């Protein structure tokens, strides 16, 4: 196997991990917005805090999607070399 293909194969788990991390981030954000304070009231965020959280979440998802797209484009271009015995 050539080194470019091996490097891409080594990166694939990291690409998948980035998608998994986005799922975890989304769950954490959803749970934070649903949370109740000790007094039973909703947790209140300022508009600035909410905007920053949403920006981070959307930016992370955007970058993960871009990484996945580029990765799979490259892996389709780099030929797989079969080692013959």
Tens of pLDDT, residue by residue over 8-60, are: 788 888 888 888 888 888 888 887 777 776 777 777 778 898 888 888 888 88
Asked if the structure places residue 68 within a domain, the reply is: yes
Q: Which two tokens stand for residue 6?
A: 């091996």
Instruction: Give the pLDDT band (50/70/90) at residue 76.
Output: confident
Asked if the structure places residue 83 within a domain, the reply is: no
The pLDDT of residue 83 is above 50: no
Asked if the structure places residue 70 within a domain, the reply is: yes
Question: What is the tally of structural domains in the chain?
Answer: 1
pTM of the model: 0.61
- Angle at which helix 3-34 crosses helix 47-77, to 10 degrees, equals 160
Residue-wise pLDDT tens digits, 17-27: 888 888 888 88
Query: To which residue do tokens 């986005």 refer?
Result: 22
Percent of the chain as helix, strand, coil, to the nearest 5: 75, 0, 25
Asked if the structure places residue 82 within a domain, the reply is: no
Asked if the structure places residue 55 within a domain, the reply is: yes
The parent domain of residue 58 ranges over 3-77
CB atoms within 10 A of CB 27: 10
pLDDT of residue 2: 74
Q: CA 79, 20, 27: angle at the middle one, nearest 5?
A: 160
Asked if the structure places residue 39 within a domain, the reply is: yes
Asked if the structure places residue 48 within a domain, the reply is: yes
Q: Which two tokens stand for residue 21?
A: 């991390």
């Amino acid at each position: 196997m050539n080194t470019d293909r091996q490097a891409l194969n080594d990166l694939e788990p990291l690409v998948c991990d980035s998608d998994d991390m986005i799922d975890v981030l989304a769950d954490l954000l959803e749970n934070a917005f649903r949370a109740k304070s000790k007094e039973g009231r909703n947790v209140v965020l300022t508009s600035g805090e909410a905007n920053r959280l949403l920006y981070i979440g959307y930016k992370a998802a955007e970058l993960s999607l871009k990484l996945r797209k580029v990765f799979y484009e490259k892996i389709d271009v780099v030929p797989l070399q079969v080692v013959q015995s």
